[in-house]
Amino acid sequence: MSPVHVAPRRPWSAGRVLATVTSSVLLLLGVGMVVGGGALRLADSTLRNDDGFVMGSTHRWQSPGYAVRSESAEIHTDSTTFDLPERFLGTMTATADPTTPNGVFLGVARTADVDRYLTDVAHSTVLDPFDGDGGPTLTFVDGGSPAVAPTEAEFWVSSASGLGPQAITWEPEDGEWTLVVMNGEGTTPVSAAVSVGAEVPVLDTVGAVLLVAGLVLVGGSGIGLWLAVRQR
C-alpha cells in the first residue's frame, strides 16, 4: 500500500491573522452591544410604572426632627447645544408614602431656598441612598422647628401633601436642587417610603439601536471570522 500523502498546511499570512483577530474583536463587541441593548429594553419594559416613569428603589427616609432632605443635586445644561437633562431624563418624579399617622409633605426646590428654610431646624440629610444594610445613610442636625409649615412656604417648584401616598413631578433645569420630606404641619417625627424616578425617554431608543447594531455586527463579524479561519 502506497503511503497517503498529506499536503503540508501553509502558515497563516499576516493578513489572515489580522482578519481573524479583527473579526473576533468585532464579534465580542457585537455580543456586548446585543446584551446591553437587550438589558436596556428589558429595563424599559419592566421598571416603568403605570405613569411611564422608570423608578428607583424605595427607601425609608426618617428623622426624629422636622424634615429629611436629600443632598444637593447639581444639573448643568448647555443651551448652545441641547438640553441634556430634559432629553435624557425627561420629566422627573418623586413619591412618598407616609409610615406615621401624621401624613407627609413632599417638595423639591432650589438648594439655596431649602438651606434657608432649614437653617437651625432639626432635620436629617440622606448622605448615601444605599448603605450596607440596603437603606439610606442619614446624618442628623439638631435644632428647633421651622418658622412656617412646609405647606405655607412658597419657594417649592413642586410639592404635595396629605395623609396617603403623595407624588410630585418637575422638569430638570440648571441649578442645584434638593428633595425634602416632612409632615404636612411641620411636626415630628418624619418617616416615609420614598422613591425617585424619571421618564428617561431615550432608554427604549438607545436599547433598540444597540440591539439592532449589535446583531448586524455579530452577523458581519461572524461571517468574516468564518471566512478567515476556513482559508486553506
Each residue's pLDDT expressed in tens, for the chain with a length of 232 residues: 555 555 556 666 666 667 777 777 777 887 887 787 777 777 777 777 778 888 888 999 999 999 999 999 887 655 544 445 555 678 999 999 999 888 999 999 999 999 999 999 999 999 876 655 666 889 999 999 999 999 999 999 999 999 999 999 999 888 899 999 999 888 899 999 999 988 877 666 666 677 777 777 777 777 766 666 666 5
pTM equals: 0.71
Q: For residue 21, what is the enclosing H or E element?
A: helix 14-46
Distance, in Å, from the CA atom of 12 to the CA atom of 18, rounded to the nearest integer, reads: 10
> How far is Cα of residue 14 from the mean position of the Cα atoms in its chain?
46
Buried b (16+ CB within 10 A) or exposed e, 50-78: eeebbbeeebebbbebbbbbbebeeeebe
User: Tell me, what DSSP letter sits at residue 134?
Assistant: S
Q: Would residue 90 be called left, alpha or beta, if left means φ above 0 and alpha means ψ between -120 and 50 degrees?
A: left
DSSP H helical segments within 47-123, as ranges?
Answer: 84-88, 111-117
Distance CA 89, CA 135 (A): 24
